[in-house]
Structure 1
Amino acid sequence: MYEVMKSIAVWQRFKAGEWVRLLVAGTVALWLLLAWLAPYFAAHGRYDLYAVFRGACHQVAERCFCIYAQPMALCARCTGIYSGIMLAALLWAKPCQNRKMLLALLGSSASVMLLDVALETIGVYHNVKWLRFATGMGFGIALAPILVNALTDVLTERAGAKKTTKNLSQFS
């Protein structure tokens, strides 16, 4: 009987994970769409969407991709992060139980992104938008499964199922 109940709990978590993946991907897709629409509205005298994104990104114009000769509401790196989250949430087939691997991947991608920041800061190169986008996307791809797993844990715990993450000490 225990095995049957355990199988049901695993199945419920899997189904919850599927819904969370779609919710995360859809929410981020909407966020990116609004960021892409901001230049269109700005070209027509409406700057309201930039205010919406001001708390999420520095919006330095020279670090943003341009549409309609106007900067996007997100810089290249933030656009990459959100694009990576959306892409990974759509393509990640199932919830990953190897949390140590996910944290290692997140740490590695964050290190690459910080290296990009450091190299630009010391003057090795200047304002390479595609590189900012790529390092941001790598970080977003690494962040997505952690985000999906955490949200799935919250939803399944509220539904009465046993969560898989007790605390951060299980990662050591």
Structure 2
Amino acid sequence: MKRNVPAFQAASLIPEAPVAIKTGYRILLWGVPLLAGVYFLVGMSTPLLIRYGQSQAESVLSLYSHFCHQILERSFVIGGTPLGLCSRCTGFYGGLLGGSLAVAMDGDKRSLGLRSLALLIAPALIDFWFDRSSLVWGSNVLRCLSGLLAGIGVVGFAFPRLLWAARR
């Protein structure tokens, strides 16, 4: 025996799959750049926090020390205070932010291939190898630029694929 349920009631109980997929896709599409932006800006905020006497600066430095070595000679310093990230990580997370914003504005239409990913990550790996081998000492600007390219490469390769998988 079939029950007569009003159409508006049945539709409100179970959302249609396409709507749920679109909502999840949008959350992912703009959530990744938002998280990358918050992470990047909090890491950059330590000089500002110290200047205005905020005690959170030590907490930020402590939190970011789990993800970055924060060696003073390899970090950008503003007003006598180092950033929460070394110069390479500053570039890397800045690249993640910029790249994820670019992908979010473009959608999952384009993704970098493995060759492009390798070319964008190679400068950071070469710079890292030179730093570890003590053959050549790079500057903070070079470290930042190589990290920026690596961040753009990683997000340009992975984020469109993640969006594509979320849409399917």
- Which of the residues 73, 85, 89 maps onto 2:96? 85
Structure 2 counterpart of 1:55: 66
User: Mapping of 1:1-172 within 5 angstroms?
Assistant: 16=25, 19-43=27-51, 44=53, 46=55, 47-92=58-103, 93-96=106-109, 101-153=112-164, 155-156=166-167, 162=168
Q: In structure 2, how many angstroms separate the alpha carbons of the residues matched to 1:85 and 1:75?
A: 15
* AA aligned opposite 1:22: W
Cα displacement string for residues 133-169 of structure 1 (whole angstroms, at most 9, x for unaligned residues): 000000111111333234325544xxxxx4xxxxxxx
Is the alpha carbon distance of 1:51 and 1:154 closer, same or farther for their aligned partners in structure 2, counting shifts above 3 Å?
farther
Is the alpha carbon distance of 1:96 and 1:139 closer, same or farther for their aligned partners in structure 2, counting shifts above 3 Å?
farther
Q: TM-score, normalised by structure 1?
A: 0.70
* AA aligned opposite 2:123: V
Cα displacement string for residues 76-122 of structure 1 (whole angstroms, at most 9, x for unaligned residues): 11111111111111123131565xx5222222222221111223344
Structure 2 counterpart of 1:3: none
Is the alpha carbon distance of 1:150 and 1:41 closer, same or farther for their aligned partners in structure 2, counting shifts above 3 Å?
same
Cα pair 2:92 2:152 within 8 Å, conserved: yes
Q: Which segments of 5 or more consecutive residues in structure 2 lack a partner in the other structure?
A: 1-17
How much has 1:32 moved relative to structure 2?
1.4
Cα pair 1:109 1:139 within 8 Å, conserved: yes
Q: In structure 1, how many angstroms separate the alpha carbons of the residues matched to 2:160 and 2:152?
A: 13
Q: In structure 2, how many angstroms separate the alpha carbons of the residues matched to 1:90 and 1:45?
A: 30
Q: TM-score, normalised by structure 2?
A: 0.72
Q: How many residues align?
A: 144
* AA aligned opposite 2:81: Q
Any idea what SS the aligned residue of 1:106 has? helix
Give RMSD over aligned pairs.
2.7
Cα pair 2:76 2:82 within 8 Å, conserved: yes
How much has 1:127 moved relative to structure 2?
4.1
* AA aligned opposite 1:130: V
Q: In structure 1, how many angstroms separate the alpha carbons of the residues matched to 2:46 and 2:165?
A: 33
Is the alpha carbon distance of 1:21 and 1:67 closer, same or farther for their aligned partners in structure 2, counting shifts above 3 Å?
farther
Q: Which segments of 5 or more consecutive residues in structure 1 lack a partner in the other structure?
A: 1-8, 157-161, 163-172
Is the alpha carbon distance of 1:55 and 1:94 closer, same or farther for their aligned partners in structure 2, counting shifts above 3 Å?
same
